[in-house]
Amino acid sequence: MNEPTTVAPALWIALLHHPVVNREGRVVATAITNLDVHDIARAARTYRARGYFIVTPIERQRALAQRIVEHWCEGHGALRVPERGAALALTRIASNVDEVIASVTRETGQRPHVVATSAHADRVTIGFNALRERVRSGTSVLILLGTGWGLADDVFSGADDVLEPISPPGSDYNHLSVRCAAAIMLDRLLGSDG
Amino acid sequence: MNEPTTVAPALWIALLHHPVVNREGRVVATAITNLDVHDIARAARTYRARGYFIVTPIERQRALAQRIVEHWCEGHGALRVPERGAALALTRIASNVDEVIASVTRETGQRPHVVATSAHADRVTIGFNALRERVRSGTSVLILLGTGWGLADDVFSGADDVLEPISPPGSDYNHLSVRCAAAIMLDRLLGSDG
């Protein structure tokens, strides 16, 4: 692996396990999924995002996430698959979105532009191209992703923008896994111009 | 969910569990991962791919994949999360690439253009834009994805083309999960023009 040749984009991702909704639309806290931790960390590292936050208010779940990260960054996993530690080193654990915003603000000296995401188009305020331009212009951007059936209302009302859904032409199905949705978003926002 | 408005693209995906290489470069058969089945089926359905093949020469593994698909298409899972069945209905099980090619050929009446994928640039014969144009022009395309540390040499020599790697600008890291890589490829090949 060579050193990156340019400054990494000022983009952070946060995966929320609360407040999110379940299938029936009720606000719940979901459990951490091991592959969400790994896959999104690997995608974040590939696209040179600055950080990836695992967000849950449940202390035991935060401890679990911490153990996963430590296993791959310092433990047996780091010896066996060192490139996994390079990805998981981007991962941080937080209790809620305010903690995430505070952490990014401490790091950069300015509050990030907070962007909620959804599989539905009803609250959209910004498209991929416009957000890509904002990232390119140097704005610090924090993307919020929801587990379960998506982010709860409170998250949308607290965000600066809501990103358009990933909606391929002619598609009648919007049930991507959050892992795949995160990867596609990173590719659209930080990938090459093709 | 509304009906799709246009003809689905003539694109198939196959996830190979053999012949692939392990970390040391030896040819191995990997085990089926439940979330590979789900995530790639969901992405294939989202992007309206025609089919998603799970490929393994190990009979017990094929039976396992079949049970996963049946659970979500016909069993308890179909009642609980019906949209998951809509994705897994695209999934088929095969023993090897020849079976996959024969299946697509039976379906369309012509042999598909077989495209191998890799995280490395050393064998590339086609870029995303060129392959996207081929799909748009109506060519039947079969994308081969490798589990483990990627497809074995034999797969490359049997393919018609090797697709360029997903390689974001400035990135020094190429360890996306196969789930995320599949989703990004589908978005680049079948997503909107932005």
pLDDT higher than threshold 70 for residue B4: no
Percent above pLDDT 90 for chain A: 81
pLDDT at A6: 66
A5, closest residue in chain B (CA to CA): B170
Check pLDDT > 60 for residue B5.
no
Q: Are B183 and A176 inside 8 Å of each other by CB?
A: yes
C-alpha distance from residue A150 to each of A18, A126, B75 (Å): 10, 18, 25
CA-nearest residue to B149 within chain A is A81
B194, pLDDT greater than 70? no
- What's the CA gap between B63 and B189, in Å, rounded? 31
pLDDT at residue B178, rounded to an integer = 97
CB atoms within 10 A of CB A110: 11
pLDDT of residue A177: 96
Task: Give the minimum alpha-carbon distance from B49 to chain A in angstroms, rounded to a whole number.
Answer: 10
Using the beta-carbon criterion (under 8 Å), do B46 and A171 form an inter-chain contact? yes
The interface residues of chain B toward chain A in range 75-134, judged by CB-CB distance below 8 A, are: 81, 83-84, 86-87, 128-129
Nearest to A172 among B2, B43, B194 (CB): B2
* B62 min Cα distance to partner chain A (Å): 22
pLDDT at B6: 67
Q: What CA–CA distances, in Å, run from B9 to A172, B44, B45, B183?
A: 14, 11, 11, 15
Beta carbons of A177 and B3 less than 8 Å apart: no
pLDDT of residue B1: 45
Taking the alpha carbons at both ends of chain A, their separation in whole angstroms is 23
Disruptive mutation site among B46, B80, B84 for chain A (greatest number of A CBs within 10 Å): B46
Which one has a higher pLDDT value, B86 or A7? Answer: B86
- The answer to whether B177 contacts A35, with C-beta atoms less than 8 Å apart, is yes
pLDDT tens figures, B125-153:
999 999 999 999 999 999 999 999 999 99
Provide the mean pLDDT of chain A.
93
Domains present along chain A, CATH in parentheses: 12-190 (3.40.1280.10)
Q: What is the arithmetic mean of pLDDT over A35-45?
A: 95
Q: Residue B50: how many CB atoms within 10 A of its CB?
A: 19
Q: What is the pLDDT averaged over residues B5-24? A: 91
Identify the residue with better confidence: A77 or B178. Answer: B178
pLDDT value at position B193? 64
Q: Can you point out the beta strands (E) in B19-120?
A: 20-21, 27-28, 51-55, 91-94, 113-116
Residue in chain A lying closest to B128 (CA): A194
Phi-psi region of A18 (alpha: psi -120 to 50; beta: other; left: phi over 0): beta
**Do B169 and A192 make contact, defined as CB atoms within 8 angstroms?**
yes
- CB contacts, 8 Å: A187 with chain B: 166, 168, 184, 187-188
In the prediction, which pLDDT does B23 show? 92
Segment B22-41 shows an average pLDDT of: 95
Q: Nearest CB to A2: which of B129, B172, B177?
A: B172
Mean pLDDT of B117-122: 93
Whether A59 has a pLDDT exceeding 90, the answer reads yes
Surface-to-core class of residue A75, CB atoms within 10 Å of its CB (0-12 exposed, 13-18 middle, 19+ buried)? middle
Q: Tens of pLDDT along A115-134? A: 999 999 989 999 999 999 99
Q: What is the pLDDT of residues A78-112, one digit of tens each?
A: 888 888 888 999 999 999 999 999 999 999 999 99
Chain B: closest CA distance from residue A131 (Å): 12
Return the residue in A34, A42, A46 with the most chain B beta carbons within 10 A, the one to mutate for interface testing: A46
Using a CB-CB cut-off of 8 Å, the residues of chain B touching A2 are 172
Of the candidate ranges A3-17, A56-70, A101-115, B51-65, the one whose mean pLDDT is the lowest: A3-17
Report the predicted TM-score, pTM, of the whole model to 2 decimal places.
0.94
Integer Cα distance of B180 and A147 in angstroms = 16
Calculate the CA dihedral of residues B172, B178, B180, B184 and round it to 10 degrees.
80
Chain B positions touching A194 (Cβ under 8 A) are 128-129, 188
- Give residue A168's pLDDT: 87
Least confident of A148-162, B60-74, B151-165: B60-74
Tens-place pLDDT, residues A138-178: 999 999 999 999 999 999 999 999 999 998 888 889 899 99
Task: Give yes or no for residue B49 having a pLDDT over 90.
Answer: yes
Task: State mean pLDDT over B181-194.
Answer: 90
> What value does the mean pLDDT take over residues B82-107?
94
Residue A4 has pLDDT above 70, yes or no: no
Contacts with B33 (C-beta within 8 Å, 6 or more apart), sequence order: B147
